[in-house]
């Protein structure tokens, strides 16, 4: 029997590979529609079909692409004919009238009439909203493909249909069914449905089993499946601590490199030294990247991060194994995947320049949701200061975030503690101060202040111009959407996170921060969340050595009153 075909509108926006994988996992075939004429032809044939409108990144860019590729009219005709459509993330946003993200206020499809999108307020919470949130209430007379108030879904966005109660009521009267989410005090549309159109602000293909089930019900046409909550049903999760509604994220990290035999392996360092300390001095081999990623997904990891830790030695062509790793991992791992290592402009031996944007694009097309930039972020911010505090406009951070959205750009920071007697001793090579703070743990010579040097090439070189504060604040300004905060002193130590560092950086930026380096037991995760309010925490060695499973950490946090995705 031939498989059912599902059509996906492809305007080259981000990671469609994961969506394809999720749908293939459910036994369907997918066909991409590259322009509106292809859709128009199907619509004219009055073909019975199902359509997905996925999108990531910038709203203005996305709706312009829909327009330029002649999708606008056939999509509206398709909807008018009553055919099933599933919008995802910016695909949902495009169904609205306009968004304040787009300075030209480009017209969306206006399916959700007279309603526009605005930015979340970042004065009291991290923006973008990145993480797992739940549906706070359903204002719905019909089912929404079994959308479940008890489950968590993966959201990643800065703009949303943020509505007051009166606006919700107006949409209800116009016949829209709504699932409402809450980020902080802001109520926003997490899913909307009318007739055969259904759209989610979250990514079902990245929402683990809960998201896969939703896609399955859509494919089966079971709109009223599952229990329908009564109108205005409200989920109360009041007893657990959340981050403005988001669960505390636990991330598993895989440092990947070739071993001495040339096999790609997951390794793990102590203060970034990944060789065994015995006489053979081999690269520590902790397993295969794809297998371990699957294992951590099944253990409940909220995200998986792959870092190619020797990218600076290789050409992107030799990087291809990491592309393969992503392609394979995204077939079975339905949570967000981040890839780092070698995200930069690259000059081939032939002299051909491959732009960072192109390198990033290759990773997104292979199944990555975010790219993480390490060394090149340091060079970019150094340049910013050398240029008299002016952006060049062409750095990887700026280029990738403009095309794929800020949520797709993570900055991986590799800092090391540096003690000074007084703030005036922390002066960079340009004669300017580097930001310090007074430490609770004074240095070997009773120094009372510290700053954090930042490194390139995984701890092999250190910046003489910027410290960790300068790196993260300027990277945020240039378009970074998240900080992955490692710590060379703590890496592999099992002694807990550097709480002072995490607190210092968390207070310096508005974007989410992931604490990394030093986790050795579940208590360390509780400690870092309690002490710093950081958005997510990452573990590596303790999971690789099998001392704890990701789920052990989550159960421990849950027991101590923290909301996690179980």
> Active-site residues: which are they?
89, 203, 205, 255, 414
Q: What are phi and psi of 197, to 5 degrees?
A: -95, 130
**In the bound complex, what is the minimum distance in angstroms from residue 287's beta carbon to ligand 1PR?**
14
Q: Which of 36, 108, 467, 492 binds ligand 1PR (CB under 6 A)?
A: 492
CB within 8 Å of 565: residues ≥ 6 apart: 132, 152, 208, 247, 300, 302, 554
CB within 8 Å of 315: residues ≥ 6 apart: 346, 348, 349
Under the criterion CB under 6 A, does residue 463 sit at the interface with ligand 1PR? no
Under the criterion CB under 6 A, does residue 341 sit at the interface with ligand 1PR? yes
Tokens representing 102?
A: 């787009």
- Alpha helices (H) along 16-138: 17-25, 36-44, 59-68, 72-80, 90-93
Q: What are phi and psi of 175, to 5 degrees?
A: 95, 15
**In the bound complex, what is the minimum distance in angstroms from residue 480's beta carbon to ligand 1PR?**
13
Query: Nearer Cβ to ligand 1PR, position 85 or 371?
Result: 371
- Write out the binding residues for ligand 1PR, residues 415-454 only, by CB under 6 A: none
Q: Which stretch binds ligand 1PR (CB under 6 A): 81-89, 171-179, 373-381, 423-431?
A: 373-381
- Write out the binding residues for ligand 1PR, residues 403-422 only, by CB under 6 A: 412, 414
* Strand residue runs (E) in 225-341: 233-234, 249-258, 264-267, 303-308, 337-340
Under the criterion CB under 6 A, does residue 23 sit at the interface with ligand 1PR? no
Size of the site for ligand 1PR (CB under 6 A): 32
Under the criterion CB under 6 A, does residue 90 sit at the interface with ligand 1PR? no
> Would you list the DSSP string of 450-472?
EEEEEEETTTTEEEEEEEHHHHH
Cβ neighbours, 10 Å, residue 82: 10
Q: Which stretch binds ligand 1PR (CB under 6 A): 144-152, 339-347, 350-358, 397-405?
A: 339-347
Query: Nearer Cβ to ligand 1PR, position 243 or 485?
Result: 485
- Write out the binding residues for ligand 1PR, residues 230-289 only, by CB under 6 A: 253, 255, 268-269, 272, 274
Q: Which of 131, 143, 342, 481 binds ligand 1PR (CB under 6 A)?
A: 342
Q: Which of 376, 476, 500, 503 binds ligand 1PR (CB under 6 A)?
A: 376
Under the criterion CB under 6 A, does residue 343 sit at the interface with ligand 1PR? yes
Residue 261, SS3 per DSSP: coil
Q: What are phi and psi of 65, to 5 degrees?
A: -60, -40
Helix (H) or strand (E) holding 159: strand 159-160
**Residue 530, CB-side half-sphere exposure with 13 Å CA sphere:** 10
What is the binding site for ligand 1PR (CB under 6 A)?
A: 253, 255, 268-269, 272, 274, 307, 309, 311-312, 340-343, 372-376, 412, 414, 458, 486, 491-492, 516-519, 539-541
């Amino acid at each position: 029997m031939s498989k059912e075909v599902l059509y996906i509108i492809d305007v080259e926006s981000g990671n469609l590979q994961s969506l394809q994988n999720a749908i293939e996992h459910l036994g369907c075939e997918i066909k991409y529609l590259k322009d509106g004429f292809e859709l128009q032809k199907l619509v004219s044939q009055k073909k019975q079909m199902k359509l997905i409108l996925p999108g990531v990144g910038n709203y203005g860019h996305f709706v312009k692409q829909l327009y330029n590729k002649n999708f606008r009219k056939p999509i509206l005709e398709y909807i008018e004919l009553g055919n099933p459509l599933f919008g995802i993330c910016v695909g949902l946003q495009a169904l609205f009238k306009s968004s304040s993200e787009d300075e030209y206020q480009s017209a969306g499809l206006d399916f959700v009439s007279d309603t526009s999108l605005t930015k979340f307020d970042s004065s009291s919470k991290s923006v973008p909203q990145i993480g797992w949130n739940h549906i706070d209430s359903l204002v719905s007379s019909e089912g929404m493909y079994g959308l479940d108030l008890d489950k968590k879904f993966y959201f990643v966005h800065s703009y949303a249909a943020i509505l007051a109660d009166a606006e919700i009521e107006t949409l209800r009267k116009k016949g829209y069914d709504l699932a409402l989410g809450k980020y902080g005090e802001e109520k926003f549309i997490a899913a909307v449905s009318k007739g055969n159109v259904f759209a989610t602000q979250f990514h079902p293909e990245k929402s683990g089993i809960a998201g896969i089930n939703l896609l399955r019900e859509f494919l089966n046409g079971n709109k009223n499946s599952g229990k329908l909550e009564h109108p205005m049903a409200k989920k109360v999760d009041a007893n657990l601590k959340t981050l403005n509604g988001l669960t505390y994220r636990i991330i598993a990290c895989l440092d990947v490199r070739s071993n001495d035999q040339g096999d790609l392996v997951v390794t793990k360092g102590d203060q970034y030294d990944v060789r065994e300390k015995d006489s053979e001095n081999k690269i520590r081999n902790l397993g295969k990247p794809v297998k371990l990623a699957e294992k951590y997904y099944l253990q409940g990891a909220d995200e998986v991060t792959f870092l190619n830790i020797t990218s600076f030695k290789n050409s992107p062509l030799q990087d291809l194994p990491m592309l393969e790793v992503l392609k394979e991992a995204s077939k079975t791992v339905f949570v967000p995947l981040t890839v780092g290592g070698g995200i930069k402009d690259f000059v081939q031996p032939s002299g051909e320049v491959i732009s960072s944007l192109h390198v990033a694009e290759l990773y997104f097309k292979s199944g990555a949701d975010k790219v993480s930039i390490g060394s090149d972020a340091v060079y970019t911010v150094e340049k910013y200061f050398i240029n008299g505090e002016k952006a060049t406009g062409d750095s990887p951070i700026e280029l990738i975030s403009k095309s794929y959205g800020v949520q797709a750009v993570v900055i991986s920071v590799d800092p090391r503690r540096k003690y000074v007697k007084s703030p005036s001793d922390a002066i960079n090579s340009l004669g300017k101060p580097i930001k310090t703070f007074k430490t609770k743990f004074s240095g070997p010579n009773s120094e009372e202040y510290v700053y954090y040097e930042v490194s390139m090439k995984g701890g092999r070189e250190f910046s003489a111009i910027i410290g960790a504060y300068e790196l993260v604040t300027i990277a945020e300004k240039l378009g970074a959407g998240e900080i992955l905060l490692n710590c060379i002193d703590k890496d592999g130590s099992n002694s807990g996170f550097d709480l002072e560092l995490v607190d210092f950086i968390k207070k310096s930026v508005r974007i989410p921060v992931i604490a990394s380096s030093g986790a050795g037991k579940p208590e360390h995760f509780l400690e870092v969340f309690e002490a710093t309010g950081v958005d997510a925490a990452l573990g590596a060695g303790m999971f690789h050595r099998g001392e704890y499973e990701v789920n052990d950490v989550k159960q421990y946090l849950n027991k101590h009153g923290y909301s996690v995705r179980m």
